[in-house]
Amino acid sequence: MAINVFIVKEDFRIIIKKMDRIDVDDNFFKLREIANQEQCIFISTLDDIGATLINELQLDEFKEEIQKLSKRLDVDQKKLNQLKSIADAVDTRGCQYIKFIGE
């Protein structure tokens, strides 16, 4: 299983960029669990079977969560780097959203 990730316009339908898929594996579930413990609301609620949206107003907090979790040694850094790459791909001047869609 994987989560497909897209940068989309504010209508949620027009895809600006397709990002790398996030593998849903034990490391993903561990990341979500640790994010929940650390009160990282956006990462802890990434839905592996549904859809999750992060808008440009939430983007700074999402990046802060990534930064906070990157200091932990028990978190899959590759997955965090992938999330950072996704967050960095958003053009905050263009009403863009990150759309995570679980399979």
Provide the residue-wise pLDDT of the chain in tens; the chain has 103 residues: 999 999 999 888 899 999 999 999 999 999 999 999 999 999 999 999 999 999 988 999 999 999 999 999 999 999 999 999 999 999 888 789 999 999 8
- The structural domains of the chain, ordered by start, are 2-102 (3.40.1760)
Q: Residues 90, 96: contact at Cβ < 8 Å?
A: yes
Q: Residues 1, 102: contact at Cβ < 8 Å?
A: yes
Q: Residues 80, 71: contact at Cβ < 8 Å?
A: no
